[in-house]
Amino acid sequence: MTKSTDTAYDLVVFGATSFVGQILTRYLLETYGVDGQVKWAIAGRSESKLKALKTELGPQATAIPVILADASDEAALQSMCDQTRVIISTVGPYALYGEPLVQACVRSGTDYCDLTGEVQWIRRMVERYEAEAKASGARIVHCCGFDSIPSDMGVWFLQNQAEQTFGKPCRDVRMRVKTAKGEFSGGTVASMINVAKEAAADPKLRKELANPFSICPPEHRSKTRQPSLKGAEYDKTFNAWLAPFVMGAINTRVVHRSNALQNARYGKEFTYDEAMMTGRGTKGRLAAYAITGGLAAFFTASAIKPTRWLVEKFVPKPGEGPSPEAQKAGFYDLRFVGRTEDGKTLITRVTGDQDPGYGSTGKMLGEAGMCLAFDIPADQPGGFWTPASLLDGKLLERLTSKAGLTFEVVETR
């Protein structure tokens, strides 16, 4: 069953007054206008804040419809779902506030996307609602921000190129963050702290978080040991030192789920990992050790109640973030190295033209919602998808034509 197109709106931005929600709302307004070919609305729990947002956005925003709904109000969430085909949610941490909306979307057959990076929550949602989503036709797509669209679509692009060039996919792919300029969002930091808190109290969850296939269907596993960078290491491909990449924990799992949902298109023994380059020589090595130590200290402090308050005091709060000028000054450059079983190598590059956690995330999330609303065939089954497995080349075209991303081949050998 697919939801009727005879709804008041094509999409609704839920949590429009959050920091990323404001960026997303401005992006949709500037890119698609109001009351044109795209019918959309903003939603949240505070009417005064939603009105203030419209005022801040200027005269053109006056016509944006407003829907009032609290993340815990089932009736209001159901009413919101009844009015639209797609909901984009920015209300996190999702493990604390996200389930009622997912449930409402699943039961109403409403398509949904968000920017969560909380793997433990995604697994719970899949276990609780996937069968119902398949029955209702709701397409649920998590991780549509910096985690995990550049990684997920970057691997999808590389494998497309490998199939065209080598006639086969790459069995092993490594993503390396070459450069990036930007800040962590307050919502992302809050989610990371919540994951550390949950894991500290639940040994079963700690084991699950260590499993690279934790959000894959149970039958999708690999006998090949998955690489996982735990400390500083030297990368001969790029002649640079590496440190763990904090987003790798969610990105790797999304990429593996994409592989599973595409019937192991990348191969049943496909391996994938992520890391960040810290430079060459002594300076690069010291930076790699410093980042490794800093990440370990952050998660240790976040997991322990006496020190958690100190972490929360000094990191960005949800709703806080850089200025529009700082967002536009941000960027990122990711490199993907793929190797086939017989040793052929392909290197590709993905770039974004704004701060990864804010400006670029807002644009990617918006285009994921637009892709759900306008590009996915009506007969595409419901269920819990990933950006690459459901939105694939249609999203890639939107990302490159509208959202400031580039995907290109760097080297083939």
Tens digits of per-residue pLDDT, 347-358? 999 999 999 988
Residue that the structure tokens 């930076």 belong to: 287
Domain, as residue range, for 265:
149-355+404-412
> Domain containing 369 — which CATH number?
3.40.50.720
Instruction: Encode pLDDT of 35-53 as tens digits.
Output: 889 999 999 999 999 999 9
**pLDDT number for residue 317:** 64
Whether residue 254 sits in one domain with residue 195: yes
Contacts of 391 (CB under 8 A, 6+ apart): 141, 368, 371, 372, 375, 376, 385
Residue at 4 is within a domain: no
CA end-to-end span of the chain, whole Å?
47
Name the amino acid, one letter, at 385: W
Whether residue 200 sits in one domain with residue 271: yes
Instruction: Tell me which residues of the chain have a pLDDT lower than 50.
Output: none
Q: How far is CA 331 from CA 113, 127, 249, 273, 388, in A?
A: 23, 36, 21, 22, 22
**pLDDT number for residue 319:** 64
Residue at 350 is within a domain: yes
**pLDDT number for residue 312:** 59
Whether residue 238 sits in one domain with residue 111: no
The residues with which 237 forms a beta bridge, in sequence order, are none
Whether residue 321 sits in one domain with residue 261: yes
pTM across the whole model: 0.93
Whether residue 132 sits in one domain with residue 159: no
**pLDDT number for residue 246:** 86
Residue at 379 is within a domain: yes
Whether residue 134 sits in one domain with residue 77: yes
Whether residue 229 sits in one domain with residue 313: yes
Instruction: Encode pLDDT of 258-315 as tens digits.
Output: 999 999 999 999 999 999 999 999 999 999 989 888 877 766 666 666 665 655 565 5
**pLDDT number for residue 221:** 85
Residue at 2 is within a domain: no
Residue at 1 is within a domain: no
Whether residue 306 sits in one domain with residue 194: yes
Contact 272, 173 (CB under 8 A): yes
Residue at 103 is within a domain: yes
Whether residue 408 sits in one domain with residue 385: no
> Which of these, 163, 167, 102, lies nearest to 128 by C-alpha position?
102
Residue at 3 is within a domain: no
Whether residue 198 sits in one domain with residue 71: no
Q: How far is CA 15 from CA 6, 53, 230, in A?
A: 24, 11, 35
Whether residue 230 sits in one domain with residue 139: no
d(CA 56, CA 242): 42
> What domain count does the chain have?
2
Whether residue 252 sits in one domain with residue 338: yes
